[in-house]
């Protein structure tokens, strides 16, 4: 699809089909022409069908007719999702609404979806490629047979229906999880004894286990294991996926400190612990590179239908190599809302052997920005265990 065709003939249905087709391809590679055409076509659609976004773009002198590439598409601050419904379809067509974490009385951002097809296709493709690459047949014939023992230190989607994170974990378990898979936060409590039983059983059976949850859910697990003097040697192939920030409501823990404690108590080395970078407002996520490139620098990688820009906080121009920049995400999975989102995070490019950027690193929140809600919510919620 050329940019001209995307502008003139692209509609939501054809754009969805094109993006879904890309998500179904097992061979990931950066296709700049393809991304640019789809991104410009999607901007034209969202400009026409999401009036608040059109006003935002026009105020900056930007329309689908005067952009040269996807990098010219204006990015909406993530905070705008707390103030207004950013969607390109009538409210009657909403099938799911995800909300950002927040305390009582606090405004929460909302992502409205009229289909879950792109959201779920994007998350599964990224999980298989970046978290569970050993499940994929190297011959390119798809997932290997058999399912994975997955334990989730978060509530299920039925208990937290507006949590995008819980929905992601639910889809992961339904698609790839074994019968032993399940959720270990129930009624706001981390079921430590049940999880200990699962870990002991996996250790005895020499069955790899995948543990998923927010960073602070793992802090609470470690504290409980320390209090009981317990430790495990999770079988080879086990891994951890943690997400959210490392700052709770009243305390902070370094990533290095958490990973060292996880290795000590669970026997899972840092090379098998991945951080996920995602947001409720996005349809795609980014993961540490450590499973697909164990010898390279740890950096965030994402699917080819999502791109990152880093902008200088002072000038709004592209951040210089080695300098911190505001993270802007262009995510083609967001066909029903706004595809270009400016986050409240700072990041920097990570160079590969040839000196060119091959991923990015998150440095933290911008000064004055709210701490990541899901970690704070987990820290508060898991103050008691069962």
Above 80 in pLDDT, residue 308? Answer: yes
pLDDT at 378: 38
361 pairs with which residues across the strands? 348
pTM of the full structure: 0.89
Residue 358 clears pLDDT 90, i.e. is over it: no
Place of tokens 């404690």: 261
pLDDT of 379: 46
| Residue 6 pLDDT > 50 | no
pLDDT value at residue 312: 94
95 band by pLDDT with thresholds 50, 70 and 90: very high
- Measured CA distances, 38 to 7, 27, 114, 193, 329 (Å): 9, 18, 19, 49, 15
Please, what is the average pLDDT of the chain? 88
pLDDT at 351 over 90: no
**Given pLDDT bands bounded at 50, 70 and 90, which one contains residue 373?**
very low
Handedness of CA 146, 152, 155, 157 (dihedral sign): negative
What are the strands, taking DSSP E only, across 195-238? 209-214
Residue 164 C-beta-side C-alpha neighbours within 13 Å: 29
Name the token pair of 118.
């792109």
Q: Mean pLDDT, to the nearest integer, of 234-262?
A: 82
Give the per-residue pLDDT at 147: 86
Given a contact cutoff of 8 angstroms between Cβ atoms, the answer to whether 326 and 318 are in contact is no
Looking at residue 104, what is its pLDDT?
Answer: 55
Report the half-sphere exposure of 364 (CA within 13 A, side-chain side). 8
Query: In the predicted model, is pLDDT for residue 139 greater than 60?
Result: no
pLDDT on residue 279: 94
Residue 105: predicted pLDDT: 61
Model confidence at 386, pLDDT cuts 50, 70, 90, reads: very low
Position 366 scores a pLDDT of: 80
Q: Is the pLDDT of residue 8 over 60?
A: no
- pLDDT band of 134, cuts 50, 70, 90: confident
Nearest to 47 by CA among 248, 254, 327, 337: 337
The pLDDT score that the predictor gives to residue 250 is 46
pLDDT (average), residues 284-290:
96
| Structural domains of the chain ordered from first start | 117-296+371-381 (3.40.50.980)
- Higher-pLDDT residue of 26, 306: 306
CB burial string 160-173: b at 16+ within 10 A, e below: bebbbbbbbbbbbb
Mean pLDDT of 123-130: 96
What span, in angstroms and rounded, lies between the C-alpha atoms of 345 and 209?
Answer: 31
- Positions of E strands within 37-148: 76-77, 96-99, 110-113
* Helix (H) or strand (E) segment spanning residue 186: strand 185-186
pLDDT digits (tens, 9 = 90+) for 58-73: 999 999 999 999 999 9
372 membership: H or E segment, kind and range: none
Of residues 140 and 13, more confidently modeled = 13
Lowest mean pLDDT, pick from 8-12, 145-149, 259-263, 371-375:
371-375
pLDDT of residue 2: 43
pLDDT at 352: 74
Instruction: Indicate whether 249 pLDDT > 90.
Output: no
Lowest mean pLDDT among 10-19, 113-122, 138-147, 234-243: 138-147
Residue length of the chain: 386
The answer, yes or no, to whether residue 251 has pLDDT greater than 90, is no
Average pLDDT over residues 74-94: 94
Q: What is the mean pLDDT of residues 84-102?
A: 93
């Amino acid at each position: 699809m050329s940019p001209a065709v995307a502008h003139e003939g692209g509609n939501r249905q054809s754009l969805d089909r094109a993006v879904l087709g890309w998500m179904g391809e097992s061979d990931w590679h950066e296709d700049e022409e393809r991304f640019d055409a789809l991104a410009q076509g999607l901007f034209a659609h969202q400009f026409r069908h999401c009036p608040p976004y059109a006003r935002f773009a026009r105020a900056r002198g930007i329309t689908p007719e005067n952009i040269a590439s996807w990098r010219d598409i204006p990015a909406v601050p993530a905070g705008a999702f707390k103030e207004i419904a950013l969607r390109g379809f009538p409210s009657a067509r909403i099938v799911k609404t995800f909300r950002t974490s927040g305390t009582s009385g606090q405004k929460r951002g909302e992502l409205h979806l009229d289909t879950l097809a792109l959201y779920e296709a994007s998350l599964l493709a990224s999980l298989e490629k970046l978290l569970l690459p050993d499940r994929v047949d190297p011959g390119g014939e798809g997932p290997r047979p058999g399912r994975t023992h997955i334990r989730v230190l978060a509530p299920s989607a039925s208990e937290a229906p507006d949590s995008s994170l819980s929905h992601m974990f639910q889809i992961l378990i339904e698609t790839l999880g074994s019968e032993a898979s399940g959720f270990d936060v129930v009624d706001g409590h981390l079921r430590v004894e049940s999880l200990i039983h699962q870990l002991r059983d996996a250790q005895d059976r020499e069955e790899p286990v995948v543990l998923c949850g927010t960073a602070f859910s793992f802090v609470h697990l470690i504290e409980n294991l320390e209090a009981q003097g317990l430790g495990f040697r999770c079988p080879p192939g086990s891994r951890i996926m943690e997400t959210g920030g490392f700052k709770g409501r009243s305390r902070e823990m370094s990533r290095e400190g958490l990973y060292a404690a996880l290795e000590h108590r669970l026997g899972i080395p840092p090379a098998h612990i991945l951080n996920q970078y995602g947001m409720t407002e996005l349809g795609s996520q980014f993961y540490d590179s450590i499973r697909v490139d164990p010898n390279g620098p740890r950096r965030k990688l994402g699917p080819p239908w999502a791109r990152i820009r880093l902008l200088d906080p002072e000038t709004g121009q592209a951040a210089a190599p080695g300098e911190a920049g505001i993270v802007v995400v262009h995510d083609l999975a967001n066909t029903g809302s706004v595809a270009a989102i400016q986050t409240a995070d700072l990041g920097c490019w990570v160079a590969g052997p040839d000196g060119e950027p091959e991923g990015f690193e998150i440095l933290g929140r911008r000064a004055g920005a709210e701490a990541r809600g899901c970690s704070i919510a987990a820290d508060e919620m898991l103050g008691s265990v069962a």
